[in-house]
Amino acid sequence: MSPVVRLAREGDREQLAGLRAALWPESSTEDHVKELLGILERKTFGTMPLIELVAEERSGRLIGFLEVGLRSHADGCEPAHAVGYVEGWYVVESHRKQGIGRKLLAAAEDWARTQGCVEMASDALVGNDVSQRAHEALGYAEVDRCVRYRKTL
């Protein structure tokens, strides 16, 4: 049976934190648990709407997630309106290429439409060919490439 894609609930916090840590390992699972507390309660991050969508197996195990929010602007998008933005997108490796990522992204796009968006944006690291191919396979067009710099003061 195909996994169900749904809005994350408070009871998903521990499993979801583990998935987020797999995508963003620079933060600990415990840090993700803390961050999710606010997101799952308020459906915002700061002042902008932000939600967590999850893919759940019949057993209750989470096998993927997509974090989607609104941004006031995004490179390559019309600056006159807010845009839906894929902040994070992850499917457990053993469950990839089964349409789960596609279902998560479709649900995120539906949510963005309900927020009044007419465009959706995302990003992928320059070296992340898997993510780039997934975006392109689902109709996303590359708009630019950027190398970011920082300096501690």
pLDDT in tens, 2-36: 899 999 999 999 999 999 999 999 999 999 999 99
Q: Residue 148 has which token pair?
A: 């970011």
Give 13's DSSP letter: H
User: Is the dihedral angle over the CA atoms 96, 93, 88, 29 positive or is it negative?
Assistant: positive
Residue 15's contacts (CB-CB under 8 Å, 6 or more residues apart) are 61, 62
Structural domain spans, the chain? 4-137
State the burial class of residue 71 (Cβ atoms within 10 Å of its Cβ: 0-12, 13-18, 19+). middle
Q: What fold does the segment set 4-137 form as a domain?
A: Aminopeptidase (3.40.630)
Q: What's the pTM?
A: 0.88
pLDDT in tens, 50-77: 999 999 999 999 999 999 999 988 888 8
The answer to whether the CB of 63 falls within 8 A of the CB of 4 is no
For the chain, percent of residues with pLDDT exceeding 90: 66
